[in-house]
Amino acid sequence: MELKAILTAIEVLKSEDLRNNLVMGITLLVALVIIIILIPVFILFNPFDSIKDFLSEDEQNIVKNIQANYGYTDYGMGNITINSKFGFPLENVKAVVITAEYGYYDPFNTGVQTKHTGIDLSGIHRDNVLAVEKGEVVFAGVQNGYGNCVELKHNIDGIELYTFYGHLSSIGVEIGQIVEQGYIIGKEGGDPYTDSNHGNSTGHHLHFEVRTSKGYGNDINPKEYIF
Ligand SMILES: [Zn+2]
């Protein structure tokens, strides 16, 4: 049996036509495998190229700007939702572009892991920042690191949840005020050169947090509510 197979293989190799077919077949197979591997690799490393047709020219420029200024970006299309109720906090940005993730990491390569208590969303400078859900303003003012910021208290089907918006260029609400979903609570900011009270921000963006109770340290991962 084995001998027969070897003899057949020799026959194949002896015939030029069959040999050419064999080479052609192997070449096609290799090309197919390369294409199958390369497509996901391309999407993985070029997510912008994969989604840019869905973005407006303005949004494409924002993403390009972020890619030039930050090492890491993560983005897609979608809305922030909690039980499908939360809206998106930036009025004129339709693409969700996260320039810094929630959690422990070492953003400046100092060897020390620090916790990022929210997500950083890329926005248009001084775009309206909107309340993601109806709520009560429990903080509106300046905080260490966050600069101008606003904290809202929500009641989602009987569960208390808080959202926090940092690095605002201006604040549009007062403590105690009740705001509806989509109410303009301030303007996106954090530009260290043109925005006062920018906090520790190095470029304008919205720092967005979801908290289980009021104040710093009660954060949960906002991405659980994204997309
Ligand atoms: Zn942040």
CATH of the domain at 147: 2.70.70.10
Q: How far is the CA of 170 from the centre of ligand 1 (A)?
A: 17
Q: How far is the CA of 222 from the centre of ligand 1 (A)?
A: 12
- Same domain as 114, residue 214: yes
User: For residue 73, how many other CB atoms are within 10 A of its CB?
Assistant: 17
pTM: 0.66
Q: Which residue has the higher pLDDT, 177 or 15?
A: 177
Residue 170: HSE in the Cβ half-sphere, 13 Å Cα cutoff = 8
- Same domain as 98, residue 8: no
- Same domain as 67, residue 28: no
- Same domain as 154, residue 123: yes
Q: State the pLDDT at residue 75.
A: 46
- Same domain as 33, residue 142: no
Q: Which of 82, 106, 93 is nearest to 205 (CA)?
A: 93
**What residue type is 39 in one-letter code?**
I
Percentage of the chain lying above the pLDDT 70 cut = 75
Q: How far is the CA of 108 from the centre of ligand 1 (A)?
A: 13
Q: How far apart are CA 106 and CA 112, in angstroms?
A: 6
Q: How far is the CA of 201 from the centre of ligand 1 (A)?
A: 8
User: Torsion-angle region of residue 161: left (phi > 0), alpha (psi -120 to 50) or beta?
Assistant: beta
Which domain does 11 fall in, by range? Answer: 2-45
Q: How far is the CA of 208 from the centre of ligand 1 (A)?
A: 7
pLDDT at 126 over 90: yes
pLDDT at 45 over 70: no
- Looking at the domain assignment, is residue 50 inside a domain? no
Q: Are 90 and 123 in contact (CB under 8 A)?
A: yes
| Number of domains the chain is built from | 2
pLDDT at 5 over 60: yes
pLDDT at 18 over 70: yes
Q: How far is the CA of 187 from the centre of ligand 1 (A)?
A: 16
- Same domain as 95, residue 69: yes
- Same domain as 171, residue 100: yes
